[in-house]
Structure 1
Amino acid sequence: MIKGFKEFILRGNVIDLAVAVVIGAAFTAVVNAIVSSIINPIIALFWKPDENGAIGITVNGLWGPVTFPISDLINAIIAFLAVAIVVYFVFVHPMNVMKERAAAKQGLPEEPEALPSEAELLVQIRDLLEKQQTPPLK
């Protein structure tokens, strides 16, 4: 029973998904704090916040000015990239290395042997047919 559970846990899909969810949830708060305290003030240097505090491009509409919150978009992009980088380099890459080492330890080939192409197979068939049709020497 323990061996089966170990095999289940060591499957890449389960570990990758669990790690992504946990790290993503935990790291998102940190990234959001960094973006709101560092990136948004830098953006505010170039764009004046509107009366609601939204930073972005303001366009006059039919019923007054409308602000497109660019800072929220930048915040989401930076948060996504930061979480993806951390999850990949801290968990996914080491897990792939561990799998490669386990496969090498078991003696499994890392890549399957390449199969011959159709042209190579046809040449082999032609050569075999030519050998069969040649009359035997006396």
Structure 2
Amino acid sequence: MTRRVTEVSKTKKEAASILDGFKAFLMRGNVIDLAVAVVIGAAFTNIVNSVVKGVINPLVGAFGSQNLDHYSVCLKDPCKMAADGTVKSGVPILWGSVVGSALQFLITAAVVYFLMVLPMAKYLARQEARKKAREGQAANEPTPVTEVDVLQDIRDLLVAQRNGSADSAVTQQRTAGPDER
């Protein structure tokens, strides 16, 4: 009996840890970004489908059928199709629909690349260049002299005057940075 209770409590702890992990996953910002991307992608697919049906298919129609789905090859004659699109006899290969899908993919990929990926890459490159320029300026600028540095120099000069070597102490201090003293 106690063994069964122990197994049940282990199962509950595992379920609780799984739920905690799932909660942590949902609370990260990536899930929200992914959901937004899916919704925008679905809306974008409708636009691309409209472009293919309204522009690409009529251009192809200038050379043949306006619907790419009508292009096919028959492997086993006679190929007969019913009005609803089912095959009555033969083995048709509908290569036109594959070409149409490939065109939709290429158009989608091109639009995503040229309107989203490329501008974002250029923007990030500009931001990185600005960041490096700012870091380069900060590294080349001399460190400002603070009051504490001046007071330390005066103290060191007074100590050096007492010892009789004031000129060499000033030269050493001015050539060494504030961190090297």
With structure 1 as the length reference, what TM-score do the two structures score? 0.50
The structure with the larger Rg is 2
Structure having greater relative contact order (Cα 8 Å, sep ≥ 6): 1
Question: Which structure has the highest helix share of the two?
Answer: 2
Query: What TM-score comes out, normalization by structure 2 length?
Result: 0.39
